[in-house]
Amino acid sequence: MTLLETEGLEKSFGAVQALDHPDISVQRGEIVGLIGPNGAGKSTFFNALTGVDPPDAGTVWFDGEDITGLSPDRVARRGLVRTFQQTREIGTMTVIDNIRLGGTDRPGERTVPALINGERTREREAEVTTRATELLEFFDLDHMADSYASSLSGGQRKLLEIARALMLEPELFVLDEPLAGVNPTLGQSITEYIGRLNDDGMTFVIIEHDIEALRGLVDRLVVMHQGRVLAEGDPEDILSNDRVVDAYLGDMVAEAPE
Amino acid sequence: MSLIQQGIFGLVTGSYIAIAAIGFTLIYGLVNMLNIAYGEYLTIGAYVGFLAADSGLPLVAVLGLGFVATAAIGWTLTKLFFRPVVEKGPIPLLITSVGVGIVVRNGVRLFSGNELRYLDVGQPAVYRFSALGGVFVNTKQLLVVGTALSAFVAVHLLLTRTNVGIAMRAMKDNESLARINGARVMRIRNLVWLLACGLGGLGGVLLGIQTSASPTMGFQQLLVILAAATLGGAGSAYGAVVGAYILGIVIEMSVVLLPAEISQLGTTVAFLVLIAVLLVRPGGITGQEVTKV
Amino acid sequence: MSDRLFETLGRLRVVFDHPGLVGAGVFVFGLVLLLSPLQPEIPGGTQAILQVALLFLVYGLLVTGVNLQYGFTGLVNFGHVAFFAVGAYAAGMLTASDPFAGIGLGLHWTVGLLGAILAAALLGALVGASTLRLRDDFLAIATIATAEIVHDVLIGFESVTGGNVGLLDISQPVYDLANGDADTGLIVTLVLYLGVLLAVFALLTRLTSAAYGDVLRAIRSDELATQALGKSVFSYKMQVFVYGTALAGLAGGLWALALGAISPGMFTIDVTITLYIAMYIGGIGTHRGALLGLFLIVGLRLFTRFLNGVVPLTQTQFASGRLVLIGLILIFIIRFRPQGLLGDAKELGLDS
């Protein structure tokens, strides 16, 4: 059944049209890879989905509901969770606190329960801490639990961002270049984690440049180019599709020095 | 007092605010800094003007000295206090300027006391225009407006016709360029500071001639200057001029237009206008591009 | 320096560990003192100290409020004095019987105090709803403008606010209950207000130690990331803003009810500046720090007042000199120790 569907999305930045009706739909349980040359509009697409930068026109349907233009926090609370291309860890908080921040339904986040600090509040905090610790272990970050997030390496920050987002128990997890700047071994672990989570029912849309890494992971590839969907389908078919290769090559030629 | 007479007062007020607003905007555009010490440049200018006038120097020298001395002093303050903290971000920079403002204001008071100092540049001649319903204009007012107009022309020529000016505008528009700290770029930054502080000083001399010099005179103008710059559009010198005259006229006309009880609330009206602008069109009249956080 | 400082602070620890209890106890003690036939006398020469202490306690409420907004959440509220003023004038206008100029409804002091808190909170909600979505520097400008508007309105609407003269004959419940004995009144006021300050301190500490505080700190660091984690950032910003302004209103009401007379000169931008200096000296983002910073500034004010009596300089010169010193301290702190005395550099993202 369709979990996510976009229709007629448009977005311009001045004279540049970043989104031009990239109609995409994602089924529950899929792992969809979103690829395309630089400037194709992939991150803009994510921003439009998640309320970070709402589209000028068009609709986003999530789990049967029109979520177009909802603020990022409301989108996240509905189960559509994202990570950012450039990690946004809270550098002034510890790793474990960063992850705990993703915890949901914490009474302690509301004024009166925070002041009273009753049993329910404290119980939930303990639950959140337990879950956060589990995720820390899952991602092999537990030895850094009490370090400030600013002291993590680039790859560790990526893991932290994913772990933190997982606290929200997403239905649809959209990741923006989770493997960028990450060494191959760690990258392998990440794809394995994604595979495991998918086995447990989580749906994914992943933007990536490292197409090799996506090959064995995704069920379907969607290629974006100039704000539109250029092609979509089985990874092997897509990657031997001439138009797709041209799109990438075209940009590579354009970028090559004279 | 007729509306036209108040309008004339508005042009005068708008003039010295405009000169200062240009300077304020230059700093904001260059280093993204709300310089809360800016008002003090007016105060410094006024006191320098006072000393110059007291020594019997001619009017031109008084104005010129006000400009130059304030440029030098202001630049020194920047080098001492602002440059070292630039990387810490706009809010620490703002707070530092609060501190510098406190130091300068009270430093002036420490040396000169609270007494008002009058700039003696001779008695003004008064002209009466019966055609416009009997409005009065005196030469002091003409001086202020005239100096302002000259300043605008000079700044405009500087920004559009000279290499330095064009470089200044390039730096304002290009953030990454503004971040480079090469020697040439540093020279341009220095010139911008000198110009901005000098303009503040010039505005201060004019204000001092209009009224008097006192330790808090500049600080009292700070908010109107800030309002003018914001109203005109953060970072646009031309917008700042427009904003200044609008505010000047609004403030002076309120004396006549508002009911007697609250006639002093012209400044309040000005600030309400400012808040409205911030909410509806933060880019100001000239529609500057405002990036979100 | 730090060692002796912390040693002294350590002795105060017992107060800070259980501020709520101590506050309640102090408050009760104050009431007892008030209602008892005891009439403590203020030794000659210490009047000045006690009056400054009153200032400290009231400003203490102000600084904890603005610290919650700026120190913890990163909201650049440069108009905090406006809410202080609104609270004071609300209490004044509600309780004054015959204020000479301006409105005076002669109502009971409880109405005045409640009115003070509500009025300030309402204005806070209004200002917050309109300005909290603005970028930092624009928020600073908008709040500065708000404070100026309030200040000008207080001076301008003479028939309502008493203009430059201000409001007189405001209800002074403590003095009334102390049978008009000024000394007892002042001492009891100090004790009661200390209780209030400690109680507020306790509440805010609890609030920020909870998950609530984590969200605030996250907002301060990165609003978008916090939103992406499902937190309603705008809602938090509004809450914190209104809590802070309500506290300022409380401070204003308590101030008016203690002094019996208020005037616009008490509510200038200098108050806001003092609060920010206090926060930076003591350490933004810590409640203790804000109070410590305020204590040091107020202490400096007191110290120089005594010095003034000894050294042959005019009052103006002394005041100016003190302010020059304060300005330099602020500049120094921002440059060399922006986390202040008690702030945590790592937590504020200040060490690179």
DSSP state of C182: H
Would an 8 Å CB–CB cutoff place A88 in contact with chain C?
Answer: yes
pLDDT tens digits for range C22-81: 888 888 888 887 777 777 777 777 888 888 999 999 999 999 999 999 999 999 999 999
pLDDT of residue B184: 77
Residues of chain B numbered 163-202 and touching chain C (CB < 8 Å): none
Mean pLDDT, rounded, for A155-165: 92
Q: Which of A51-65, B135-149, C38-52 has the highest mean pLDDT?
A: A51-65
Q: How many domains does chain C have?
A: 1
pLDDT of residue A254: 53
Tokens representing A141 are 């970050």
Element (H, E) at A157: helix A154-166
CB contact under 8 A, B99 and C159: no
Total length of chain A = 258
pLDDT of residue C313: 76
Let me know if residue C320 belongs to a domain.
no
pLDDT of residue A258: 47
Distance CA C171, CA C182 (A): 14
Taking Cα atoms as reference points, which of C338, C218, C222 lies closest to residue A94? C218
Would an 8 Å CB–CB cutoff place B230 in contact with chain C?
Answer: yes
Measured N-to-C along each axis, helices C109-131 and C136-156 cross at an angle, to the nearest 10 degrees, of: 140
Taking Cα atoms as reference points, which of C153, C150, C157, C152 lies closest to residue C102? C157
What contacts C324, CB < 8 A, 6 or more positions away?
Answer: B102, B103, B106, B107, B110
pLDDT cut 90: percent of chain A above it: 67
Residues in chain C, pLDDT under 50: none
pLDDT tens digits for range C102-133: 788 888 889 999 999 999 999 999 999 988 98
pLDDT of residue B1: 54
Residue A202 identity: M
Distance CA B49, CA B43 (A): 10
Alpha-carbon distances of C198 from A171, C202, C287, rounded to whole Å? 46, 6, 11
pLDDT tier at A240 (50, 70, 90 boundaries)? confident
pLDDT at A53 over 80: yes
Residues of chain A numbered 57-86 and touching chain C (CB < 8 Å): 71-74, 76-77, 81-82, 84
Map out the domains of chain B as residue ranges.
3-216
The sign of the torsion formed by the CA atoms of B106, B109, B114, B119 equals negative
Given a contact cutoff of 8 angstroms between Cβ atoms, the answer to whether A93 and A101 are in contact is: yes
What contacts C323, CB < 8 A, 6 or more positions away?
Answer: B102, B103, B105, B106
Distance CA C103, CA C89 (A): 10
pLDDT tens digits for range A92-101: 999 999 999 9
For C173, the domain range is 21-36+44-269
Phi and psi, residue B94, nearest 5°: -60, -50
Taking Cα atoms as reference points, which of A216, A240, A205, A253 lies closest to residue A35? A205
Alpha-carbon distance A104 to nearest alpha carbon in chain C (angstroms): 8
pLDDT of residue C16: 65
Residues of chain B numbered 81-100 and touching chain C (CB < 8 Å): 81, 84-85, 88, 90-92, 94-96, 98-100
Instruction: For domain A2-88+154-255, give the fold.
Output: Rossmann fold (3.40.50)
Let me know if residue C327 belongs to a domain.
no
Average pLDDT across chain A, whole number = 89
Most B CBs within 10 Å, among C81, C131, C144, to test the B interface: C144
CB contact under 8 A, B261 and C158: yes
Distance CA A95, CA A133 (A): 10
DSSP state of B78: I
pLDDT of residue B150: 93
pLDDT of residue B29: 84
Mean pLDDT, rounded, for B254-271: 75
Given a contact cutoff of 8 angstroms between Cβ atoms, the answer to whether B35 and B77 are in contact is: no
pLDDT at B275 over 90: no
Tokens representing A152 are 């993590």
Taking the CA atoms of chain A, what radius of gyration do you get in angstroms? 19
pLDDT cut 70: percent of chain B above it: 91
pLDDT of residue A198: 94
ipTM comes to 0.90
B119: left (phi over 0), alpha (psi -120 to 50) or beta: beta
pLDDT of residue B20: 96
Alpha-carbon distances of C290 from A38, B224, C273, C276, C347, rounded to whole Å? 48, 31, 13, 9, 16
Mean pLDDT, rounded, for B277-282: 82
Tokens representing B224 are 């109107």
Map out the domains of chain A as residue ranges.
2-88+154-255, 90-151
Give the torsion through C-alpha atoms of C86, C91, C94, C98, to 10 deg: -110
Q: Which residue has the higher pLDDT, B21 or C302?
A: B21
Cβ neighbours, 10 Å, residue A28: 14
pLDDT tier at B177 (50, 70, 90 boundaries)? low
Alpha-carbon distance B249 to nearest alpha carbon in chain C (angstroms): 18
Q: Is A227 helix (H, G, I), strand (E, B) or coil?
A: coil
Taking Cα atoms as reference points, which of A29, A4, A25 lies closest to residue A218? A29
pLDDT tier at B264 (50, 70, 90 boundaries)? low
What contacts A68, CB < 8 A, 6 or more positions away?
Answer: A54, A55, A58, A59, A60
